[in-house]
Amino acid sequence: MHENLKFSYTFFPKEYCCSNTLYRSAIKAKDEDAINECRLLCKEFIRLNIERAKELDSCRIICFCSPCYPIYRHAFPNKEIIFYPQAIDNTIAAAKWNKEIDYYAACCKLYKKFAPAPMDVKSTNSVFYKIKRLSAYEKNRTIAR
């Protein structure tokens, strides 16, 4: 448990990749059968990670990988799976930052082809709004992405 944030976390000592890279050739070939097969394989790998999380008494899975997040959410929509900015947003109060921030929300268009679950960009924007001295211009640019 991180005492200052009241946030408990565990990193998996062994984790299965959701294998989103399997999709790339199927998407390029526009092969719907292959895409559906990729979804089944990915779901199996994710299921193994969810079982591991249960063994560790985890209450949710936090995805740090932007391609994994929509794949996890699509494969298991009823599980507690969040994108890491949401975990940050849930734990931090207003912050001060006197330097520039460079942020890229990732290629959400490609992820929609992996899985139709929406990408979470709102949680990152929420974190940015908690940062004092981040200019309104910068905050508005993050919302637009």
Task: Tell whether 98 is covered by a domain.
Answer: yes
74 close to 39: Cβ distance less than 8 angstroms: yes
Task: Tell whether 100 is covered by a domain.
Answer: yes
- The pLDDT, as a whole number, for residue 110 is 67
> Tens digit of pLDDT for each residue in 48-75?
999 999 998 888 899 988 888 888 998 9
Task: Tell whether 95 is covered by a domain.
Answer: yes
Q: Token digits for 7?
A: 């946030």
How many domains, in total, are found in the chain?
Answer: 1
- The pLDDT, as a whole number, for residue 48 is 94
Residue whose structure tokens are 């408990």 = 8
Please tell me the distance from the alpha carbon of residue 137 to that of residue 83, in angstroms, as a whole number. Answer: 25
The overall pTM is greater than 0.95:
no
Task: Tell whether 5 is covered by a domain.
Answer: no
Domain with 96 in it: 20-144
Task: Tell whether 6 is covered by a domain.
Answer: no
